[in-house]
Structure 1
Amino acid sequence: MAEPLHIVCPHCQTINRVQAGDLVRAPGCGQCRQPLFTGHPVALDSEAAFDRQVGRSQIPVLVDFWAPWCGPCRMMAPAYEKAAAELEPQVRVAKVDTEAAPALGTRCNVRSIPTLALFVGGREVARQPGALTSPAQIAQWVRAHLPR
């Protein structure tokens, strides 16, 4: 039997152990009992939440660095929301508001928004500056950069 994956709860940040085959069965958090995947992007509003999701999850984490005043960010938001439903539970989909958490944008060297960054095993493996405007485009970009 394969080792269980560590999946960080988007609600309480507890690390859960889940068998890979159980991801499609809508697993819940052992601590707060909320679903581990909601089909919506997870707001990472602090460095601690970002570090926990990116550093401790054993599934890839896609992060949209955005800001509420950014027109292209708002234009991409509906497609990103739909892409989350398509990519989860194989990929955790998250958002970082660079106005609310400017240190994260600086730390991740985000120079323009929106910027998508894909993290695998806690390390950034791909980056896409600028808006992708369809869920299929976002999902295709992510899948092209996932490890084989």
Structure 2
Amino acid sequence: MAHETLTCLDCGQLNKIPSERLKAGPKCGTCGAKLMPAKAVQIDLKTLEKAAKRDTVPLVVDFWAPWCGPCRMMAPEFTKAAGDLSGRARLVKLNTQDHQAAGAKYGIRGIPTMIQFRKGREVRRQSGAMQASAIVGWAQA
């Protein structure tokens, strides 16, 4: 039986989940938080670093800031895409104003920028605001 490794986005605990249970609403064994939420979740840099390194399910990160107009325009589209991709990928948001070290660590030159991580590697990157359907297509490519 194949398993996936997921970092809890609330408490940071690593969880092993049978692959066929990803769409069944798995919860963290430590804190009970949903591991595959159907909405985009705000995370901090420490959680991102751990999840990007350890998770086996695709992790799509929206690097954004509250003062960024295109970021605010894309926010509801990113949330909609999170629902469409539920059970197949996790979509998270990292506020680059609150976590300024993230920009340097991940080479963010402009926002919004999305980066997809899988099994410890960056697999793709896209800058600029996108609609939900384009985000879903990009994440699945």
Aligned to 1:103: 101
Q: SS in structure 1 opposite 2:29?
A: coil
Alpha-carbon distance in structure 2 between the residues aligned to 1:101 and 1:63: 13
Q: SS in structure 1 opposite 2:123?
A: strand
Aligned to 2:134: 137
Question: In the alignment, is residue 86 of structure 1 matched against residue 84 of structure 2?
Answer: yes
Q: Return the offset for 1:143.
A: 0.9
Deviations 1:9-65 (A, max 9, x none): 11111111100001111111111112212211122223x211111111111110111
Aligned to 1:58: 56
8 Å CA contact 2:23, 2:36 repeated in 1: no
Question: In the alignment, is residue 7 of structure 1 matched against residue 6 of structure 2?
Answer: yes
Within a 5 Å distance, the mapping from 1:114-133 to structure 2 comes to: 114-132=112-130
Paired letter, 1:139? V
Question: In the alignment, is residue 20 of structure 1 matched against residue 15 of structure 2?
Answer: no
Paired letter, 1:8? T
Q: Give the root-mean-square deviation of aligned CA atoms.
A: 1.0
So what's the TM-score if we normalise by structure 2?
0.95
Aligned to 2:29: 30
Paired letter, 1:18? I
Aligned to 2:40: 41
Paired residues, number: 141
Q: Which ranges of 4 or more aligned residues in structure 1 deviate by more than 3 Å?
A: none
> Any unmatched runs of 5+ in structure 2?
none
Alpha-carbon distance in structure 2 between the residues aligned to 1:44 and 1:119: 15
So what's the TM-score if we normalise by structure 1?
0.91
